[in-house]
Structure 1
Amino acid sequence: EILSQKKDELSGEVYFIFQHAEEVHPGGAQEMVKAGVADHLDLCIAIHLFSAMPLGKIGLASGPVTANSDRFDITIKGKGGHASQPEQCIDPLVIASQVITHLQSIASRHTDPAERLVLSVTMCHAGSAYNVIPDTVTLGGTVRTFRKEVRANTEALMETIIKGVTEAHGASYDFDYRHGYKSVVNDPNVTELVRQAAENLWGKDQVFPLAPMMGGEDFSAFSERVPSCYIALGAGTGEMIYPHHHPKFMFDEKALSAGVKLFVNSVYFILHSRESISMKIN
């Protein structure tokens, strides 16, 4: 509405992207890029609210912002039997516990400590009775990385460990590693323009450097295609902070109007000359 009222003052085109399925792999952004939504874009900006940040604070990073976000499933196939006769079984639970432990060595012993890597086993399912050793155990989890070399090396090491541990106990396995969202990478030039627009609105004290986050974000489909800037906007309520995806998650709705102002002023700043830096739309 605001930009439509001032369309005669804009020296360019502005597209609004209403993204679907942000939390469901492969992600709505990737589907939209494949459909051609980004074909005519010169750059793209996005805002994400963060309840852990003070209201109105703006976090900006030049370069990587979020991590590659991958998923994996592991099925360990043993030989079930009665719990009182474990010697007649190939216990997949014992094997799974060793696999979980050894997988943690990928980050601690096989990866440069300066690299950012998270490998978390978040699911383990097996058995249905107290006195029965099950046939199989299924494990699942996530891997977060920034560099493609670390991403590929982690996947290869995981299979090496799983194969070695299961074969040592006479078991077999299935391993399914699925690449998810890529890392969001902010373009330095677009980020600088957004930074100046934000400082013009609220002053330098409201803008701070944003450290790379291990979370995943499918906006990477756009940032991979065109120069982009992913912005963190503080939406804290000042009360007890519950993390995102928590059932009691809450944010201050005043952040919504702040986001609109930042979007509109960023558009004006990007589409006009640097002499227009004093322009401010309230």
Structure 2
Amino acid sequence: MCKRSSKYMKQRIEELFPQVVAWRRTFHQYPEVSFQERETSKRVAAHLESLGLEVLTGVGGGGVTGLLRGRHPGPTIALRADMDALPIQDEKDCAYRSRVPGVMHACGHDGHMAMLMGAASILTTMKEQLYGNILFIFQHAEEMLPGGAKSMIEAGVLEGVDAIYAVHLWSPLPTGYMSFRAGPMLASSDVFTVNIIGKGGHGGLPHTTTDAIAVASHAIVNIQSIISRQIDPVRSAVISIGSIHGGDASNVISDSCEWKGTVRAFAPDIREFLLRRIKEVVHDTCHMYGAAYEIEIRKGYPPLVTNHMETARLRKVAEEIVGKDKVEEMDPLMGGEDFAYYLNEIPGTFCFIGAGNELRGITAPHHHPRFDVDEEAMKTGMELLVKGAIQYLQEASLETNRPTLLASYM
């Protein structure tokens, strides 16, 4: 994209920015948790319809899509934003704090929607010059298993789509920076629940009982050794126990002990090995101490693995926007994201947009009651979405011997 078109793009973003902030703040004030994004999806759909896009609602249960058809035939690129909030009380002191008790946008999804709505507004004005199509995906339920991406894919949202991009506002990274990684980027995220069933009794007569808490303790320690002694140290994985409960009195040996945990891995083979070994360790430990058990494993999101070509393509656009010195190579994170489902189906990439600002006190981590984003970061995210979509259509059209798009802007 030439300097003239880039200047035009920044001007359009500046003009639209007050409206983007207003959208973001409205979403922030009226958040809705996973699978309940009714009013949120209505607001999104109304905007897409006002742009004259081909709009579908209820996709996969709660998703919204808007299709922008370019005047000329070509490939189709999808841009995705998530819509759901979290069951967290908003503790910020600002005019746009959540008005819904116990619910807030604590992960930036309000900004993701606003940025993509803004990108749709700008790209729609370029319809006559486009060789190809752009599908705007507003996805429900990213924060809760099984994740909205899975059901939207099953409903056919990716039919005819050649590639997909998504961005994520990221408060640990300063505004003005971006972070990419080609290949494994985020981990799988599975959860498990174990209930050890023993035989309760008097705390002073342990020999007459089967101590469920003691058995659970041994099982938990044994499970931790899977990571330290059965996984190649250079192939990262994590097992964390986040909850344990057994008994109610100090002098009574409990007859049951329930505990819950999460399993994270970057490689599918490591993931499957860990889930299998957890079952085996629980079984063998309970057998050794004469206890019974119940175990439930819920497979969550797969590892998020970005496509090397699409990551390089979008990263180049990012470098043109903020400069090479502000585009970082990130280390893999053990967090999970259901955008991984899309990347299992078609090429695409995912990146973090810096949205932290120490001078403004915007430093709280994601999923924190005081979480916020530097709204200036939405300009960067919007520009990346718009230019990234254009760059993809332009290069993909050339790769398939189609005419160059956006000739009037080049």
* TM-score by shorter chain over 0.5: yes
Alignment pair present for 1:53 and 2:176: no
> 8 Å contact 1:67–1:215 — kept in the other structure?
yes
Greater share of helix: 2
Q: Is the 8 A contact 2:183 2:308 kept in 1?
A: yes
- 2:315 counterpart (175, 195, 211): 195
Equivalent residue number for residue 213 of structure 1 = 333
Structure 2 partner of 1:24: 144
Other-structure match for 2:381: 259
In structure 2, give the amino acid aligned to 1:222: Y
* 1:154-173 equivalence runs, <5 A: 154-173=274-293
Displacement of 1:65 in angstroms is: 1.0
- Residue deviations 1:73-114, cap 9 Å, x none? 111000011222222111111111111111110110011111
One-letter identity of the residue aligned with 2:365 = P
Identity among equivalent pairs (%): 38
**Matched residue, 2:182:** 62
Q: CA deviation digits over 1:48-85, x for unaligned, max 9? A: 11110111211111111111111111110000112222
Are the counterparts in 1 of residues 362 and 373 from structure 2 also a CA contact under 8 Å?
Answer: no
SS in 1 for 2:136: coil
User: Which residues of 2 match residues 28-43 of structure 1 at below 5 A?
Assistant: 28-43=148-163
Which amino acid in 1 is paired with 2:295?
A: F
Shift of 1:176: 1.6
State the TM-score, normalizing by the size of structure 2: 0.66
Letter in 2 for 1:193: R
Matched-pair contact (CA < 8 Å) for 1:59–1:231: yes
Structure 2 unaligned residues grouped into runs of 5+: 1-120, 399-403
Kept after mapping to 2: 8 A contact 1:61/1:209: yes
Where does residue 218 of structure 2 map in the other structure? 98
The amino acid of 2:347's aligned partner reads P
Which residue does 1:137 correspond to in 2? 257
CA RMSD of aligned residues (A): 1.9
Report how far residue 240 of structure 1 moved: 6.3
SS at match of 1:159: helix
Q: Which residue of 2 aligns with 1:127?
A: 247
Structure 1 residues 240, 253: closer, same or farther in 2, change over 3 A? Answer: closer
Contact 2:223-2:278 within 8 A present in 1 as well = yes
Correspondence 1:71 to 2:194: no
- If the length of structure 1 is used for normalisation, what is the TM-score? 0.94
Stretch deviating more after TM superposition (241-250 or 260-269): 241-250
Say yes or no: does 1:247 pair with 2:354: no
SS where residue 281 of structure 2 aligns? Answer: helix
| 2:175 corresponds to 1:175 | no
After the TM superposition, which parts of structure 1 deviate over 6 Å for at least 4 consecutive aligned residues?
Answer: 274-277
Distance 1:35 1:56 in 2: 36
Give yes or no for contact 1:200–1:280 (8 Å, CA) kept in 2. no
For the 8 Å contact 1:127–1:133, the answer to whether it is kept is: yes
Query: Displacement of 1:280 after TM fit?
Result: 8.9
In the TM superposition, residue 45 of structure 1 has moved relative to its aligned partner by: 0.1
Amino acid at match of 1:150: I
Q: CA deviation at 1:130?
A: 2.7
Aligned twin of 1:11:
131
Provide the C-alpha distance between the structure 2 equivalents of 1:147 and 1:80, rounded to a whole number of angstroms. Answer: 41
Are the equivalent residues in 2 in contact too, given 1:198–1:207 (CA < 8 A)?
yes
Using the alignment, how far apart are the partners of 1:74 and 1:138 within structure 2?
6
**Secondary structure in structure 1 of the residue aligned to 2:213:** helix
The answer to whether 1:227 aligns with 2:343 is no
Give the aligned residue type for 2:179. G
Higher RCO, 1 or 2 (CA under 8 Å, sep at least 6)?
1
State whether residues 269 and 276 of structure 1, in contact with CA within 8 Å, keep that contact through their aligned partners in structure 2: no
Residue 257 of structure 1 and its aligned partner are, at CA, apart by 2.0
Compare 141-150 and 156-165 and name the one that shifted more: 156-165
Q: Which residue of 1 aligns with 2:237?
A: 117
| 8 Å CA contact 1:235, 1:252 repeated in 2 | yes
Q: How many Å separate the matches in 1 of 2:194 and 2:218?
A: 13
CA contact (8 A) 2:179 2:329 kept: yes
Cα distance in 1 for residues equivalent to 2:327 and 2:188: 25
Q: Distance in 2 between matches of 1:280 and 1:47?
A: 25
Q: Which moved more, 1:122-131 or 1:260-269?
A: 122-131
Structure 1 unaligned regions, length at least 5: none
Q: Distance in 2 between matches of 1:110 and 1:188?
A: 30
Give the superposition deviation at 1:152: 1.5
Q: Secondary structure at the match of 1:205?
A: helix
Task: Give the number of equivalent residue pairs.
Answer: 280
Query: 1:276–1:209: structure 2 CA closer, same or farther, 3 Å change rule?
Result: farther
2:249 aligns to what SS in structure 1? coil
